[in-house]
Structure 1
Amino acid sequence: MSRVWIIKRKHVLQLAAALLLLLIGWLYVNRDTVLPTLAEPTSERTIHMVVGEFKSTTADGKTIEAYRWDPGSVDVRKGERIKLSILGVNGESHPFLIEGLNISGEIKKGKETIVHFTANQAGTYRLICMTHTDMAHNGPMIGYIEVH
């Protein structure tokens, strides 16, 4: 013999209300572990870059070189905490500065240089190698941090 369950609309609404209260209570108790929204990052995002070199020989036998940041441009959200990790692959030394963020340092071949920052203003910040500032010095070696 089978039993037929009859659920009244009133009971469904009471059950839904009870589940909603349980969910609200759980969210309140676990409010520090709830995932943050994209608008409010609480952790640091790591961006990896390398120092690279293009090298070639012209038809008349002249060697030409250009040093670059790779990637040459990165996008960052306004207020986002960033860990910028730069690996020196080519060139012995690349002293650098990031305009507008009051950050400077040096990348050395075979070493990783890490800088931390939070860009609180939207805009374009240039990552400039002070050794390779123009074509006469195998540059310009400029990267861009785009803050939106």
Structure 2
Amino acid sequence: MSQVWIIKRKHLYLAAVVLLLLLSGVLYMNRGKIVPTLAEPAPERTIQMVVGEFKSTTKDGKTIEAYRWDPGTVFIEKGERIKLSIYGVNGESHPFLIEGLNISGEVKKGKETIVHFTADQEGTYRIICMTHADIAHSGPMIGYLVVD
């Protein structure tokens, strides 16, 4: 009976050695590679925008201006975590909303406004300045977030 136990122990040692060799081979082949886990959130991408203004004078001396988000269109991957950083360069106040994402805020001159979101659904989402919604109010000041 002791002979049977010795054979089983040898097999156990052999199996342990083979398992260690396989594991070390897998680790060696994957060295330097980043392997994401479910516990790690995807990294957040920062998108920088500014509030800009175009200003001109017509032949009859009237000053005209238009405000805009710059860049005017931003492309985002579905599922991507976003940090949208908007800096107010022109205009005193730009209260805004992002249609379909339930996000609103206000950009003020000389200040940075930050909003965080995850782009879960494909589509085109408009970022609309409520102060400059149409031509009569130096607009429309509309940008586009395109989620693919």
TM-score in terms of structure 2 length: 0.77
The CA deviation at 1:25 is: 2.9
Letter in structure 2 aligned against 1:25:
L
| RMSD after superposition | 2.7
Partner of 2:48: 48
Partner of 1:95: 95
The CA deviation at 1:131 is: 0.2
Partner of 1:57: 57
Partner of 1:143: 143
1:74-89 alignment to 2 at 5 Å?
74-89=74-89
Letter in structure 1 aligned against 2:49:
M
The change in CA–CA distance for 1:93 and 1:23 in structure 2 (over 3 A counts) is farther
1:1-148 alignment to 2 at 5 Å?
21-25=23-27, 34=34, 36=36, 42-148=42-148
Q: 1:73-108 CA deviation, whole Å, 9 max, x = no partner?
A: 000000000000000000000000000000000000
Name the one with the larger helix percent. Answer: 2
Partner of 1:15: none
TM-score in terms of structure 1 length: 0.77
Q: Tell me the matched-pair count.
A: 126
Letter in structure 1 aligned against 2:109:
K
Give, in whole Å, the separation in 1 of the partners of 2:57 and 2:122.
Answer: 41
Give, in whole Å, the separation in 2 of the partners of 1:83 and 1:95.
Answer: 18
Whichever of the two has the greater Rg, that structure is 2
The change in CA–CA distance for 1:77 and 1:23 in structure 2 (over 3 A counts) is farther
Gaps in structure 2 of 5+ consecutive residues = 1-19
**Percent sequence identity over matched residues?**
74
Letter in structure 1 aligned against 2:117:
F
